[in-house]
Structure 1
Amino acid sequence: MEQLPSKAQILEWIADHPTQSSKREIAKAFGIKGSALRIELKRLLKDMEGEGTLAKSKRVYRDAAGLPPVSVLKVLAPDAAGDLFAEPLDWDGQGTAPRILMQTRASDALGEGDKILARLEQVEDEDHAYVGRLIRKIGSNPLRILGVFRAASEGGRIVPIDKKQDKEWIVGSQDTDGARDGELVEAEQSGPKRMGLPRARILARLGDPSAPRAISLIAIHQHGIPDHFPDAVVAEADAARPAPMGARTDLRDLPLVTIDPADARDHDDAVFAEAGPGGTHIVWVAIADVAHYVTPGSQLDREARRRGNSTYFPDRVVPMLPDTLSGDLCSLHEGVERPCLAVRMTLDAEGNKIDHRFVRGMMRSIASLTYGEVQAAQDGAPSDRVAPMMERIITPLYDAYAAAKAARERRQPLDLDLPERRIELTEDGKVSSVNFRERLDAHRLIEEFMVLANVAAAEELVRLKQPLLFRVHEEPSPDKLESLREVAQGAGFTLAKGQVLKTAHLNRLLSQAEGTDYDELMNISTLRSMTQAYYYPENFGHFGLALRNYAHFTSPIRRYSDLIVHRALISGHGWGKDGLSAFDTENLGETAKQISDTERRSMTAERDTNDRYLAAWLSERIGAEFAGRISGVQRFGLFIKLDETGADGLIPVRSLGHEFFHFDADAQSLVGSDSGLTLAIGQRVRVRLTEATPVTGGLLLELLDVEGDPLPRRSQRKGRFAPRKPAKLERKRRVIRKRS
């Protein structure tokens, strides 16, 4: 185009592209080149500003009659019906400012006079012109503190529970929120230092520091998990705009769906499958294009790298990215255009991946489905909304999964069967139930397609000779393998010796134990023999999955490793300037160590939190009896895994009776010196709960019977006739023999 667009064309472009409306982008859109035409365009835009048809803010033009998609608003008083409205803080348009109906959530806590940043959607309604959703309150990102409140004559102080913080915070009498001495509180900084100490305002009273509502917060602070985004990070996230189509591959007509837990807040992967020629299957896996929003060297990037990953607790999530991105712009919500990196994979009739192709695209999910409703549909009971998807979506997905599953079984990855606990909480944070998560084929379907996509990403980057972070899982050490072999022999099973270990050998061991009393024991013991997976720039393979090339590609919203892989794909394919930076490449080893460490930190915090929740729940059942199994043996006692909850408790050796128990490290057992009672890993036991400590998550148990047999009667002898340790008894016998 070699002439200026009309004013109507400019207004139409801005309406369709509100995030790409700078003078430079308008010129590019209409093909305006050369200084003369650019000067004319500038003059035209100035004229439109003067006429009042265009408004300019921060170098971006917009229709003066409308509001930008993200605006600063002032909240108005609720109307008679209780609806909350807002108006733009700055209005330069003609007539009265447009009214905005706020779609609020319970957690928004908005009130008259609040200044907020909101995302707007234009609607046709006589009462209001826009619908708004809160992004955040302006100035609502102050430093947060978690600590114990210590009351004083006027107000009080907060003593942080974080050992790294040695300063206390002053709380004015008007800012205590009624907190009592000794309560755990959450507060925010409310003012500058006075008399040497900063001031704080209590936001929430969490009660007893050992109560359930406090448990995850304690873990967050104890393990140093960053749960507060710096202002600069929040500002960058708030400034983000929807990604443009640009040169992306158009996948918007591809009927991709997301399949997640019912309570999922973000959706970072979508799938679609269809039958291919000759019995093949075409599988698409589309992943949120986080790299578009989190660019190298940005504040968002630095914070994401520092966090490494999201951390999940029963009552909250500590995300890697601010909610503006993780819960909105990067999330593949139903019916919304979202940028993605996608891979198209071809599986042969036997389920082997024979081809793959990556694209950087734009997609639109046709449905956000849950595992439960997808499985119900496959089992013959589709809901009204899933029923129309059966032929085009659900059935082809399961057909492709059946082929992929057959290939997986031939490959023989490690097949552990370890039920996962699910802790359900009431609204006030107390444990309502502890169940084991149901494992459906819908879960396995998504897992298998994600594994295939991760393999494809690793293979593609190896082909492109791009730096990347591999997901590495090395085989067990000889010592751990020997310990596993001894446990197996003790249970009556065999693990072959003197050959190169393969996952198939371990699966054979697990199949021997399947259905026996030692089933869970062998799964736990096999898991304990494994090394921990980690990230590394060099490829040492993935032993557990029996794969040569493996990298994490499918969860960039919650894992920094996947973001690095996305950038490597962008660089390798020349898809943009937001690929790997020089810093990314030069510090790949350091990044690998950083995010491997943060992953372990999160796992520890999540495990500690679950233990504390279980201890809090079981603290109301002191004296109750439980069935369980010996899961570990140490010199100081027995570890018991309870059947009902999967909780772990300790039976101290001192509580086993008056006889001495000899610890046999090789056999992993305790043997009574008088009774000969042998207590070993895998035995079924019945125990009584004697103590539960929510603060530590510790459970103490009393042993009642072993394999259905009551314990031998405890000796009550004392003094010189009491049982002695074996070593002392043996020395006594030697003295008697010499004298005789």
Structure 2
Amino acid sequence: MPRRLLRVRAADPTRINTELAELRARLQIPEEFPPAVLAEADEAARAPRLPEYDATELPFFTVDPPGSLDLDQAIHLARRPGGGYRVHYAIADVAAFVRPGGAIDTEARRRVQTLYFPDQRVPLHPAALSEGAASLLPGQERPALLWQIDLDPDGAVVLADVRRARVRSRRRLDYATVQQAVDGGRPDEQLTLLAEVGLARELQEQARGGVSLPVPEQEIEATDHGYRPTYRAPRPADGWNAQLSLLTGMVAAELMLDAGTGLLRTLPAAPPSAYEKLRRCAHALYVPWPAALPYPALIRSLDPHLPHHAAFLHECTGLLRGAGYQAFDAAAGTVPPADPGHAALAAPYAHCTAPLRRLADRYAQEVCVAVAGGTPVPDWVREGLTTVPALMAGGDRRAHQVERDCVELVEAELLRGREGEGFDAVVVDLDDKRPGRGTVQLADPAVRARCEAPTGHRLPLGERIRVVLTLADPAARSVRFAPA
């Protein structure tokens, strides 16, 4: 569903903020940093370790959601003489501020990743670093891990290197601004190149057999009067920016595999039974899927704005289950996985572009810069490779639970007291064992919840139906519907 302002009342923030605080307490989410961590962060912010190499003459820019201050990546693009492109991709150098084994490092290993709640963000690092001295904010000289990736005219990698450098971003942009400039025919050279390189990398992804799912996302939006759930379909500019991050993660993975030491983000191939289920779902949703049409080609043919296509795309997310982290270190006797690839990307891949918000990225970055510079991988990194995968697995589970609980809480609060009202909905999922039970997606308000038909009846997958709200319980974070 496209992102749009919804003409519905907002959920009461007073009750929700109290319930969100209770949720954080129940999940043992650390809201405040210990004094020792804050003191160490303030000291590090005043005196970061700045590298000798100066790349501040490159006019970098950032693309992030509006209002973001924790800016991990900055971009500069250029055309190569004779054809092709040169990508300079700067990533915040968290290690320039964090002492291994120190207070900040210890706390980051406890938090693992930044968590997002409707009322606040629970960051991985103190704001003095994540929104200040380490963030690639415009007009500020910053230490960074600077990737230089040369591409041929078709977007294929020719050469890649990484080194520590001082950088200075010039502009902070958001996705809507980039998209409006390109659509309106007013992009500058950097945004023109962003679109060109992004599209070229999307074609490279297609040639590899990779696929990116344009699934409409359900988000919680803060308003002047409270909170409300919304749907947001990805813009092309989202995809262009994501392709540069994916590009960097893929060249980082290849660098680490060649060195025999690293940390990969992996995803096993889905079993044939998963694709068989998807084919049945496509048939039920009237999505044509000829036997000779590969799955990635099918995904690229879909329009997420069409309800039955959006429902099918949600079903496809089941193929992404099983993602994890795998570390290897030949010097310690652990070899890379037999299949190091990420099934959705059809290539090896590493998380390395968001170190302000994700613990694993700092370790992958340090391996890459050491290997590229011909220096030994630091001992603290090698030691961390034995524990970080398990820490990240726990962090992913907690982040997914936070996201699910927050959405369900706001949905229930929004609909509280409206039992018996009717809503238009689309059936987007069915229970394999009980076809009378499934999930419906409302367009207005933007709610996804369980729906159960009377015994002996089947919900019509992919079709629009009228439903009645039967339960909205914020305490249990539960919303239920029944066919009208």
TM-score over 0.5 for the alignment?
yes
Q: Equivalent residue of 1:523, what SS? A: helix
What is the rounded CA distance, in whole Å, between the counterparts of 2:296 and 2:483 in structure 1? 33
Instruction: Give the alignment's TM-score, normalised by structure 1.
Output: 0.58
Asked if 1:593 corresponds to 2:396, the answer is: no
1:488 to 2:282 alignment: yes
Give runs of aligned pairs for residues 372-387 of structure 1, distance below 5 A.
372-380=176-184
More helix by share: 2
Instruction: Report what 2:326 is aligned to.
Output: 536
Give yes or no for contact 1:555–1:562 (8 Å, CA) kept in 2: yes
Instruction: Give the deviation of 1:620 after TM superposition.
Output: 5.2
Distance 1:231 1:275 in 2: 48
Q: Spell out, residue by residue over 1:254-297, the C-alpha distance to the aligned partner (whole angstroms, 9 max, x if none).
A: 11111111121211100010111222111111000001111321
Whole-angstrom distance in 1 between the partners of 2:319 and 2:181: 39
Higher RCO (CA-CA < 8 Å; seq separation 6+): 2
| 1:651 corresponds to 2:451 | yes
What is the aligned partner in structure 2 of residue 362 from structure 1?
Answer: 166
Q: CA deviation at 1:322?
A: 0.7
CA shift in 2, pair 1:283/1:510, >3 Å: closer
The 5-angstrom pairing of residues 175-194 of structure 1 reads none
- Counterpart Cα distance in 1 of 2:253 and 2:319: 26
SS state at 1:331 partner: coil
Q: Which residue in the other structure is 2:362 paired with? A: 563
What residue is the counterpart of 1:255 in the other structure? 59
The equivalent residue for 1:525 is: 315
Cα distance in 1 between the residues matched to 2:460 and 2:378: 53
Q: Kindly indicate whether the alpha-carbon contact (under 8 Å) linking 1:632 and 1:640 is maintained by their aligned counterparts in 2.
A: no
* Residues 476/238 of structure 1: CA separation in 2 closer, same or farther (3 Å cut): same
Shift of the alpha carbon at 1:311? 0.6
Work out the CA distance in 1 between the residues paired with 2:85 and 2:302. Answer: 35
Provide the C-alpha distance between the structure 2 equivalents of 1:378 and 1:417, rounded to a whole number of angstroms. 20
Corresponding letter in the other structure for 1:525:
E
Distance 1:511 1:550, change over 3 A: closer
Tell me the amino acid that sits aligned with residue 473 of structure 1: L
In our comparison, the structure showing a higher alpha carbon Rg is 1
Distance 2:466 2:183 in 1: 38
Higher mean Cα deviation, 353-362 or 417-426? 417-426
Following TM superposition, by how much is the alpha carbon of 1:581 offset from its aligned partner in structure 2, in angstroms? 2.4
Change (3 A) 1:419 1:209: closer
- Residue 3 of structure 2 is matched in structure 1 by none
Contact 2:451 2:481 in 1 (8 A): yes
Contact 1:345 1:357 in 2 (8 A): yes
Alpha-carbon distance in structure 2 between the residues aligned to 1:508 and 1:585: 40
- In structure 1, the partner of 2:48 is 243
TM superposition shift of 1:512: 6.9
Separation in 2, partners of 1:418, 1:692: 26
Compute the displacement of 1:313 (Å): 1.7
TM-score (norm 2): 0.86
Q: CA deviation at 1:648?
A: 2.4
Deviations 1:202-255, CA, capped at 9 Å, x for gaps? xxxxxx9981222432332222222232222222112112435443x2100011
Match in the other structure for 2:75: 271
Query: After the TM superposition, which of the residue ranges 404-413 and 264-273 deviates more from structure 2?
Result: 404-413
Q: Tell me the equivalent position of 1:403.
A: 200
Paired residue for 1:696? 476
Counterpart secondary structure, 1:251: coil
Deviation at 1:561, TM superposition (A): 0.8
Among candidates 580, 601, 612, match of residue 378 of structure 2: 580
1:316 aligns to 2:316 (yes or no)? no
- Deviation larger for 448-457 or 408-417: 408-417
Code of the residue aligned with 2:313 in structure 1: it is N
Counterpart pick for 1:546 among 341, 346, 357: 346
- Structure 1 pair 283–221 and aligned structure 2 pair: CA distance change class (3 A): same
Counterpart in the other structure of 2:330:
none
Secondary structure at 2:387 match in 1: helix
Distance 1:227 1:458 in 2: 33
Change (3 A) 1:209 1:541: same
Preserved contact between residue 455 and residue 551 of structure 1 (Cα < 8 Å): yes
Q: How big is the shift at 1:513?
A: 6.2
Give the counterpart letter for 1:698 in structure 2: S
Determine the structure 2 residue equivalent to 1:681: 461
SS of aligned partner of 1:551:
coil
Distance 1:372 1:648 in 2: 25
CA shift in 2, pair 1:399/1:680, >3 Å:
closer
Q: Which amino acid aligns with 2:247?
A: L
- 1:453 is matched with which residue? 248
Residue of structure 2 equivalent to 1:224: 28
Write the deviation string for residues 471-493 of structure 1: whole angstroms up to 9, x where unpaired. 00111134433333333344456
- The question of 1:473 aligning with 2:267 is answered yes
Structure 1 residues 368 and 209, CA, compared in 2 at 3 Å: closer, same or farther? closer
Could you tell me whether the CA contact under 8 Å between 1:536 and 1:589 is conserved in 2?
A: no
Contact 1:286 1:343 in 2 (8 A): yes
Q: Does 1:285 align with 2:83?
A: no
Superposed displacement of residue 587, structure 1: 4.8
Using the TM superposition, give the Cα deviation of residue 590 of structure 1 relative to its aligned residue in structure 2, in angstroms.
Answer: 2.7
Deviations 1:544-599 (A, max 9, x none): 1111x21011100000110111221243245989x6324x4245243201112111
Identical-residue share of aligned pairs (%) = 29
> Secondary structure of 2:262's partner?
coil
Shift of 1:462: 2.3
Distance 1:379 1:681, change over 3 A: closer
Q: Which runs of 5+ in 2 are unaligned?
A: 1-11, 328-335
* Higher mean C-alpha displacement, 476-485 vs 314-323: 476-485
Q: Is the 8 A contact 2:363 2:385 kept in 1?
A: no
Contact persistence 1:311–1:602 (CA under 8 A): yes
Q: Give the count of matched residue pairs.
A: 458
Secondary structure in structure 2 of the residue aligned to 1:346: strand
Shift of the 227–524 alpha-carbon distance from structure 1 to 2, 3 Å rule, reads same
Within 5 Å, which residues of 2 pair with 1:277-356?
Answer: 277-356=81-160
**Alpha-carbon distance between aligned partners in 1 of 2:374 and 2:50, rounded to the nearest angstrom:** 13
The 2-side partners of 1:475 and 1:496 are apart by 21
CA contact (8 A) 2:363 2:384 kept: no
**Post-superposition offset of 1:364:** 0.8
Greater shift, 311-320 or 525-534, is seen at 525-534
CA distance in 2, matches of 1:644, 1:336: 43
CA distance in 2, matches of 1:425, 1:516: 26
Q: What is the alpha-carbon distance in structure 1 between the residues aligned to residue 84 and residue 301 of structure 2? A: 35
SS of 2:74's partner is: strand
Write the distance in 2 (CA, Å) between the matches of 1:352 and 1:371.
25
Structure 1 stretches lacking a partner, 5+ long: 1-207, 662-671, 705-740
Q: Measure the CA separation in 1 of the matches of 2:248 and 2:122.
A: 26
**1:366-411 Cα distance to aligned partner (Å, 9 max, x none):** 11122222222223375xxxx8xx24x3223323223223323323
The separation in 1 between residues aligned to 2:426 and 2:361, in whole angstroms, is 39
